[in-house]
Amino acid sequence: MKMKKSKKTDGCTRYDHLVWDYLEMDPDDPQRFEINNHLKSCENCRILFERTAGILQYLDFQRTLTPSPELSKQILNRFHEKKTTVVRLIYTLKSLAAAAIVVFMVAAGVFSGRFIAGKMVSEQTANIVDPVSSFAEETFFAEADFFTPGYELLNE
Amino acid sequence: MDLSEKEITDFINKFRNKVFRTCLGFVQNADDANDLTQDVFLSVFESLGSFRNEAQLSTWVYRIAVNKSLNHLRKKRTRNIYQNLETLFSKEDGYETHQYTHNPLIEQENRQEVSKMLKYALEKLSENQRIAFTLSKYDDLTNSEIAGIMGISVAAVESLMHRAKMNLQKSLQSLRY
């Protein structure tokens, strides 16, 4: 933004802090006459005072503005909409949580079922007598009896 | 906290103009102020349960309005930075588009010009000066009320107001004419 520095005289600085007060001063205030006299001869200050007056008038105008007459309705709609969204979100989260619990329970059931079944199978396997190894054992002893040196002597 | 429709409407009617004016003072645009006012009330209703009676209800509502407005301005500023960068890189005369062109004499009916001027001058204020100025000029709050909202002393508000006025004057003086 291009700016132009206004040239200030020593007299101007005296009135600088009075701009806002001046605009709210009583028309008969003696200080107002003094400022008016200065403004007649100083263009810089006059422009500043005019601009400030413009701003104050604009502020007055803005203060007359009111929100849309539909404001309450709009807020209520948004409020209910938000509430519904929150309720929906909670409902969805609840459903998801319930589904997750069901899935977990099914998975746990399947896992524990397989585990128990696996354990039973291994126990059964442990109890079964291996016919091959028992036959070999018997044969070994039978043969051992036959080949043991001095066996005949002992039997005698 | 569950509020009936009537309670909500009563609450809105009680504070609507105050909140709207505060937001307008910051954003300088009636449509944006209207949207912000809605956001302020939604925030108020959402956190009404956490409101402790340490402060007055109006003070609390003003605080929310000020915070929402400042957040809006910050977001807008960030957006503008990106937009300005885009303009700068896309156009040779990008910088010229942001120049303030001003009429030598401010005509009363020329509100658009004055609005631009005020917006420009307000943007030059610090955040605290702007809060104090807006609450004082738009909501007609006393210095002690402003002090309560801002959580500072009355003397500090007086100082902020004085500096705000001086800075506004400086900005008005520095505008090209």
Residues spanned by the domain of B177: 103-177
With CB atoms and an 8 Å threshold, state whether B21 touches A62: yes
Q: Which residue in chain B is spatially nearest to A74 when comparing CA positions?
A: B38
How far apart CA B34 and CA B5 sit, in angstroms, is 20
**Chain B residues in contact with A63 (beta carbon < 8 A):** 21, 138, 140
Shared-domain flag, residues B20 and B91: yes
Shared-domain flag, residues B49 and B108: no
Q: Where are the domains of chain A?
A: 10-63, 71-140
pLDDT tens string, chain A, 156 residues long: the values are 444 444 556 667 777 778 888 877 888 888 888 888 888 888 888 888 888 888 888 888 888 999 988 888 889 888 888 777 777 788 888 889 999 999 999 998 888 888 888 888 877 777 776 666 666 666 665 555 555 566 566 655
Residue B40 backbone dihedrals phi, psi, to 5 degrees = -60, -50
With CB atoms and an 8 Å threshold, state whether A65 touches B169: no
- Give the DSSP H/E element, type plus range, for residue B90: helix B57-90
Structural domain count, chain B: 2
Distance of residue A90 Cα from the nearest chain B Cα, in angstroms: 16
With CB atoms and an 8 Å threshold, state whether A67 touches B16: yes
* Complex confidence, ipTM: 0.75
Shared-domain flag, residues B12 and B86: yes
With CB atoms and an 8 Å threshold, state whether A51 touches B33: no
Shared-domain flag, residues B126 and B91: no
Shared-domain flag, residues B173 and B107: yes
Shared-domain flag, residues B15 and B92: yes
Shared-domain flag, residues B70 and B146: no
Shared-domain flag, residues B12 and B87: yes
Q: Which residue in chain A is spatially nearest to B16 when comparing CA positions?
A: A67
pLDDT at position A2 is: 42
Q: What is the mean pLDDT of chain B?
A: 83
Q: CA end-to-end span of chain B, whole Å?
A: 55
Shared-domain flag, residues B72 and B132: no
With CB atoms and an 8 Å threshold, state whether B20 touches A76: no
pLDDT at position A123 is: 77
Shared-domain flag, residues B75 and B90: yes
Mutate to test the interface with A, among B21, B28, B111, B173 (most CBs of A within 10 A): B173
pLDDT at position A12 is: 78
Residue B93: Cβ-neighbour burial (10 angstroms; 0-12, 13-18, 19+): exposed
- Which among B99, B130, B151 is the end of a domain? B99
**Chain A residues in contact with B120 (beta carbon < 8 A):** 1
For A75, the token pair is 């807020």
With CB atoms and an 8 Å threshold, state whether A2 touches B16: no
With CB atoms and an 8 Å threshold, state whether B172 touches A52: yes
Q: Which of B13, B98, B115 sits opposite A1 (nearest CB)?
A: B98
Which residues of A sit within 8 Å Cβ distance of B? 1-6, 16-17, 19-20, 44, 47-48, 50-55, 57-59, 61-63, 65-68, 71-72, 74-76, 78-79, 82
With CB atoms and an 8 Å threshold, state whether B34 touches A53: no
With CB atoms and an 8 Å threshold, state whether B168 touches A44: no
Shared-domain flag, residues B9 and B77: yes
With CB atoms and an 8 Å threshold, state whether A67 touches B37: yes
pLDDT at position B24 is: 94
pLDDT digits (tens, 9 = 90+) for B38-84: 999 999 988 887 777 767 889 999 999 999 999 999 988 887 777 66
Q: What is the dihedral of CA B79, B83, B84, B88, to 10 degrees?
A: 160
Q: Which residues contact A43 (CB under 8 A, 6 or more apart)?
A: none
Residue A3 backbone dihedrals phi, psi, to 5 degrees = -120, 155
Q: What is the CATH number of the domain that holds B142?
A: 1.10.10.10
**Within a 10 A sphere around the Cβ of A154, how many other Cβ atoms?**
8
- Which among B80, B99, B118 is the end of a domain? B99
How much is the pTM? 0.67
Q: Which of B5, B8, B111 sits opposite A61 (nearest CB)?
A: B111
- Which among B99, B117, B133 is the end of a domain? B99
